Structure formats: structure tokens, C-alpha cells
Amino acid sequence: MYLTKEEERMLDGEYGHAVKKSMEILSALGDIYGAEKLIKVGSVQIAGVSYHNLGDAGLEYLNGLAKDGRVRVITTLNPAGMDLENWRNLGISEEFAKKQNLVIEAFRKMGIIVSCTCTPYLIGNLPRYREHIAWAESSAVTFANSVIGAMTNREGGPSALAAAFIGKTPLYGLHLEKNRIPDVHVEVNTELKKFSDWGALGYCIGKNANNRISYITGIKEASMEELKSFCASVVTYGSKPLFYIKGITPGFEKYETPKEKITVTEEDIKKAYDEINDDTDTIEFVFIGCPHSSIKEISQIAEKLKGKKISSKVEFWVATPRPIKQLSDDRGYTKIIEDAGGKFACDTCVAVAPLKGRFKSLATTSAKACYYSRGHNLMKTKLGSLEQCIDAGVTGKWE
Amino acid sequence: MKGRIIFKGEVKGEALVTSQPISFYGGVDPESGVLVEKGHELEGKNLKGKILVFPNGKGSTVGSYGIYRMKKNNVAPVGMINKECETIVAVGAIISEIPCVDKIDILQIKTGDTIEIKNNLVNIKK
């Protein structure tokens, strides 16, 4: 990959340790993927924030970079392993909280905005159509590429940090128009009736299209929240962080319908539920907000929870970015949810909090949350509508 | 054999070879260095001190930190040889400073061979 004179000096260490390490990472990735040069990015989203995933070694690595590393572009953070203010109420240990706070301090020192959300686009890190960005967090990467039409590869924690310290990323993969052409036509031959059907659809398309870019037809309507949920699911069960939905997402007009066709039927959606859902009658944990809830979703939860009481045997968490919780506080939604026995979990999520062994079963509206709770945290999972999840919270049972 | 440098360095050790990709998040225990993925060819094998020979990484990008955790716990491979390196392993090798070479015909190497990595060169001593 071609490096400018200044970039060469960065690689030689003239700008310090963090910049040198970052240029090593970017130039190696550029060489591996045949990038011609580095290009400027408009923003960065960092993953790898939970102490649960980083451990002491990861913390030490971040502290090393924080000594002289300062971000050059707007940089936001993925969820941490706990609510940074209300962690005690969520049952997080003192020891974990101490370590998690050290991780956050290291990021803060680097000049990063401590947003701790997987939906940075809901709280001000919003790229424009065709803007180059370097984002980690697969659901946000998929949303940025597909729903907004920005351009980013699926970065990991360290490569996103490297892009933040340099303000650039190698020009390869989804930064090039030629790699954004859809490969497979997915015809959705069924009506999506409830919110969680979008997660089930993501499962079907992710599994079948896997590493190919799908061009989806047959969908007439989609809310931002439904698309957000679909993004999380399609990239969890598949791997390509880009799709098009005809008539809904930007850029679809530029392409012809691909010849190869996959059809998704009502039967496929039903099968997806069968595969995502485990065999369990009792529910110990309800989690809403994967990806983090919008203010509209919070209002729906409050409306449906009003006057109900969550069972004392169930933990009921609502995850959302902290600025959205402030709107919820003002509107009175927070009080309704908390009066019913629900808890707010800002800054964190079910995939990165230290939950292994705490709950045996989960009810959620998110297909992605099922994947991580099952795999890493050994819970039995149920995917369903918000109404079903609230009922499970009230009764402790999955009907 | 001549490959491409991912992270340069010189190291000698015993080869541990697999034809299957490795996940360094969930697939390997960062405390012990043991590969724990169920059904993997190397399940139960310790990667510590080995020249690890595998086609490429797979799974979550958090795997780069997994490699770094192994290094800090002194249970990491001393070198890595790939068929085609990708982001997870490349970043893991660079932040952990583990010599790593790719674009190597890994089928030429057998577990137990003594391997020498010298920057982009890989020598096999049977």
C-alpha cells in the first residue's frame, strides 16, 4: 500500500507509540487486502469495551495506547460490561466495576466520547450517505452501510482504534463501489406480522446469503427500529454487513435484480423461531434493547407495562443509550417502567455484561440477543413480541 | 518457503498444524492456551510455545484481544503461519508482537516438524 511521507514517519515512530502501532495495523491490513492507499474517515465507532471481553491484558493494552494516543476524528464507544452509574442495581460486582471503570478511563484519556452504545447513530454519531467511516460493532456497521448508505468495513476493536488515532483507514472492501454490488436476490414471500419477525427474517437471510450481499424484495414497509433489529440479526447469523431492500434502503435503484434467487416463506420464518427458541417454560430474565432501544421503543414498553408488575422471580432490563434515558425520564416513561419493576441498563447489553451463570433463561425481542445468550452465557432463549416478553416478565412463564 | 510478513521477527519452534480455521474468541481459552472448540482438529491441544500453522482466523473480531491475552498470560504460540491471513489474526499478531507469515502452502508442514520463521521465510527441518 502506498504511504505518504507523513504516514511513513508515523510508521517509523516519529509520532509516538500509539500512532506507530496504529500505522502497523493499518498498513498490514492494507497489504493483506490489496488497498491502494489510506483514505480519511468521518467517524469511528470502537468495540471491545467490556472488561468481560478484554480482561487485564486488554486493559493493559489500552492503557499503553492511552499514554500518547489521541483520536483525530469523532469517536464513540460500544456498550461496556455494566451501567456506568447504576451497576449495583444490576448485580454487578464491586471488583468488576472497578476494572470496567479503568477501561473507560483509558478511552476517555484518548479523547473518545463515552457513549457506550451500539446505536451511535441514534445519539449524534450519524454519517451521511457515501461517507467513509471506520466502525466496529457488527449491527451498527450493517445499519451504517445498508440503512444510511455510508461506507465501512466490519472493523474489530483494535483496527477501529487504529483508524481513530490516524483518522484514516485502508481503501478496500466495502469502501469501494465495486464491492457493494448485490449478489443474490432474496424474495420475501410472507408478511412480517410482529417486530421479532424481523429478527427471524435476519436469521433466514443471514444463514442463506451468508457472505453475499442480498437484494431483498417483497417488503412494503419498515420502521427504523425494525431495520435496526434486522441488521443485528442478519450479520449475527450471516457475515455480510450490507444488504439492500427494494423501495426502502438507499442505493437499490442503481442495481439490477441479481439472477440467483432465494425465497423466504412463512414456513422459513416459523422454522427460524423453532431453531432460535429453546425448550423452556420458565423465564428468569427479560431483556429489551438489542440493539439499544430508541425513544419510540421506550414509549412502547412504558405503554404496555403501565400498571403491571414484573414477577419478583424475574429480572427485566431495558437497554438504551443514556441520552435517550434522559428523554425517557422527562417524559415519565422511566418512572412507569421502574414502578412496574423494570430496570434501565444504560451503557451495557446482554452480549457483553458478565451474566454467565446468573440466569438460566431469557425472553427477548432480539434474535441477536438469543445468539449471544445461548452461546456465551448458556441461557435457554425465547424470541417473541414485546407483549410476549412483558407477559413473561409478569408471570415468569413463557406461554 | 517464501511468504508475506504480517508481523516480522525470527523464531524457531515445533509446528502444531491444522487445516481448520481457528476462533480466538470462545475457541481458545486465553488463560491456559488450550483450544476448546468442540469438534475442532486441535481440541484439547495447548498452543503455548508452538509455531501455530492454520489457514486463517474465524469468528468474532474480539479474537485479536484473545491472542493478546494469551501472550500476556505466557501461553501464546511463539509464531503463526497462515495460508491467507485476515483481520483478526493480523491485528492479534501485531498487537501481541508474535512473528506471523502468510501466503504459505501450509500442507507442506506436519505437526512436530521443527520450523524456523525468519521474517518472510519459513524453513522446515524434519
Flag whether pLDDT at A375 surpasses 80: no
Does any CB of chain B come closer than 8 Å to the CB of residue A156?
yes
Helices A322-331, A295-305: axis angle to 10 degrees equals 50
Cβ within 8 Å, pair A157-B30:
no
**Residue-level pLDDT at B25:** 85
**Residue-level pLDDT at A116:** 98
Phi, psi of A187 (to 5 degrees): -95, 120
Helix locations, chain A, DSSP H:
5-12, 17-32, 51-66, 94-109, 138-143, 157-166, 196-209, 224-237, 266-276, 295-305, 322-331, 333-339, 367-375, 386-395
**Residue-level pLDDT at A374:** 86
pLDDT tens, residue by residue, B27-36: 899 999 999 8
Cell numbers given for B65: 484481544
| Secondary structure of residue A67 in the 3-state scheme | coil
Long-range contacts of the stretch A381-385 (C-beta < 8 A, 24+): A381/A276, A381/A277, A381/A278, A382/A277, A382/A278, A382/A280, A382/A283, A383/A196, A383/A199, A383/A200, A383/A273, A383/A276, A383/A277, A384/A194, A384/A196, A385/A194, A385/A195, A385/A196
CA distance B21 to A173: 21
Flag whether pLDDT at A296 surpasses 90: yes
DSSP classification of residue B59: S
Does any CB of chain B come closer than 8 Å to the CB of residue A48?
yes
Cβ within 8 Å, pair B4-A31:
yes
Q: Record the pTM.
A: 0.93
Task: Tally the C-alpha atoms within 13 A of residue A97's C-alpha that lie toward its C-beta.
Answer: 12
Res. A239 pLDDT band, cuts 50 70 90: confident
- Give strand pairing partners of B122: B117
Cell numbers given for A358: 446468573
Q: Which residues does chain B have with pLDDT short of 50?
A: none
Cβ within 8 Å, pair B91-A56:
no
Chain B partners within 8 Å of A159 (Cβ): 61, 64, 87, 91
- Give strand pairing partners of A361: A380
Find the catalytic residue in B19, B23, B32, B60. Answer: B60
| Secondary structure of residue B107 in the 3-state scheme | helix
Cα radius of gyration rounded to whole Å, chain A: 21
Q: Map grid coordinates 431483498 to a residue.
A: A216
Does any CB of chain B come closer than 8 Å to the CB of residue A28?
yes
- Among candidates A117, A95, A102, A75, which has minimal Cα distance to A291? A117
CA distance B13 to A378: 37
Question: Pairing mode, if any, of strands A74-77 and A43-46?
Answer: parallel
The mean per-residue pLDDT over the stretch A256-283 comes to: 97
pLDDT tens, residue by residue, A168-200: 999 999 999 999 999 999 999 999 999 999 999
- Give strand pairing partners of A216: A186, A245
Cβ within 8 Å, pair B90-A57:
no
pLDDT tens, residue by residue, A62-113: 999 999 999 999 999 999 999 999 999 999 999 999 999 999 999 999 999 9
DSSP A121-184: GGTT--PPTT-B-EEBSHHHHHHIIIII--B---B-HHHHHHHHHHTEEES-GGGSGGG-S--E
Cβ within 8 Å, pair B65-A157:
yes
Q: Is A367:A203 a contact under the CB 8 Å cutoff?
A: yes
Q: Map grid coordinates 484481544 to a residue.
A: B65
Chain B contact probe: residue of A11, A22, A159 with most B CBs at under 10 A: A159
CA distances from A26 to A38, A171, A259, B90 (A): 8, 10, 36, 10
CA distance A230 to A225: 9
Q: What average pLDDT does the structure give for chain B?
A: 93
Q: Which residue of chain A has the CA closest to B73? A: A57
**Residue-level pLDDT at A344:** 98
Burial of A296 (0-12, 13-18, 19+ CB in 10 A): exposed
**Residue-level pLDDT at B125:** 86
Does any CB of chain B come closer than 8 Å to the CB of residue A63?
no
pLDDT tens, residue by residue, A325-360: 999 999 999 999 999 999 999 999 999 999 989 999
Chain Cα centroid distance, residue A232: 6
Res. A56 pLDDT band, cuts 50 70 90: very high
CA distance B60 to B48: 21
CA distance A137 to A290: 12
CA distance A124 to A119: 10
- Among candidates A165, A184, A118, A117, which has minimal Cα distance to A20? A165
Asked if B60 is an active-site residue, the reply is yes
The mean per-residue pLDDT over the stretch A247-256 comes to: 97
Chain B partners within 8 Å of A61 (Cβ): 65, 68, 95
Q: Is A353:A92 a contact under the CB 8 Å cutoff?
A: yes
Q: Is B119:B8 a contact under the CB 8 Å cutoff?
A: yes
Q: What average pLDDT does the structure give for chain A?
A: 96
CA distance A372 to A377: 7
Nearest to A157 among B64, B69, B90 (CB): B64
DSSP classification of residue A111: T
Sheet holding A74-77, edge to edge: A74-77, A43-46, A134-135
Cβ within 8 Å, pair B94-A28:
yes
Burial of A196 (0-12, 13-18, 19+ CB in 10 A): buried
Cell numbers given for A6: 507523513
CA distances from B19 to B77, B113, B114 (A): 17, 16, 18
**Residue-level pLDDT at A211:** 84
Cβ within 8 Å, pair A32-B62:
no
Chain A contact probe: residue of B29, B64, B98, B120 with most A CBs at under 10 A: B64
| Secondary structure of residue B71 in the 3-state scheme | helix
Flag whether pLDDT at A155 surpasses 90: yes
Q: Which residue of chain B has the CA closest to A235? A: B60
**Residue A303 CB coordination number (10 Å):** 11
Domains of chain B: 4-125 (3.50.30.10)
Cβ within 8 Å, pair B90-A28:
yes
Min Cα distance A344 → chain B (Å) is 26
Min Cα distance B8 → chain A (Å) is 11
Domains of chain A: 5-177 (3.30.499.10), 181-275 (no CATH), 277-395 (3.30.499.10)
* ipTM for the whole complex: 0.81
